[in-house]
Structure 1
Amino acid sequence: MSKAPFVSVSIATAALGTALGAMALQLRAHGYEQYVESVATFSVLMYITAALTVVTWVRDGRPHAN
């Protein structure tokens, strides 16, 4: 597979994780403590997904055994 889909999906997912992390900080600052844990958890999940996308790209680039 080509490199472009893996890179773009990984970057977009990491950007979403960053945005959600910033949102969690804003929620905490404005007193919405009941939502902070959920948003922060989803942010971490986005970073893990981005990392797994990179791992998939690396594994796809290796030669396949016949």
Structure 2
Amino acid sequence: MTKGPFVAMAAVTATLGTVLAAFALQLRADGYEQYVESVATFSVLMFVTAVLTAVTWVRDGRPNTN
């Protein structure tokens, strides 16, 4: 299996997590406190998804044994 999809998905989800974290900080600065928790939670979810994708990428590279 090629590594391209793993790398692309991990990069995109990590980038999305970063953008959402910045957006949460901007919402807090602008006074939209009621939305900060939801956006921050989704940001953390994107970072966790990126890490799990990277773990899958590493595990896929290991030789298969039966």
TM tier, shorter chain?
over 0.9
Query: In structure 2, what is the Cα distance between the partners aligned to 1:20 and 1:56?
Result: 24
Please give the per-residue CA displacement for 1:34-53, whole angstroms capped at 9, x wherever unaligned: 00000001000000000000
Shift of 1:3: 1.1
Q: How does the TM-score come out when normalised to structure 1?
A: 0.97
1:39 aligns with 2:43: no
Q: Which runs of 4+ in 1 moved over 3 A?
A: none
Correspondence for 1:58: 58
Correspondence for 1:23: 23
Correspondence for 1:6: 6
Q: Any gaps of 5 or more consecutive residues in structure 1?
A: none
Letter in 2 for 1:26: Q
Letter in 2 for 1:58: V
Aligned residues between the structures: 66
Please give the per-residue CA displacement for 1:16-36, whole angstroms capped at 9, x wherever unaligned: 000000000010000000000
Identity %: 73
Q: Give secondary structure in 1 for the equivalent of 2:9.
A: helix
Q: Give secondary structure in 2 for the equivalent of 1:55.
A: helix
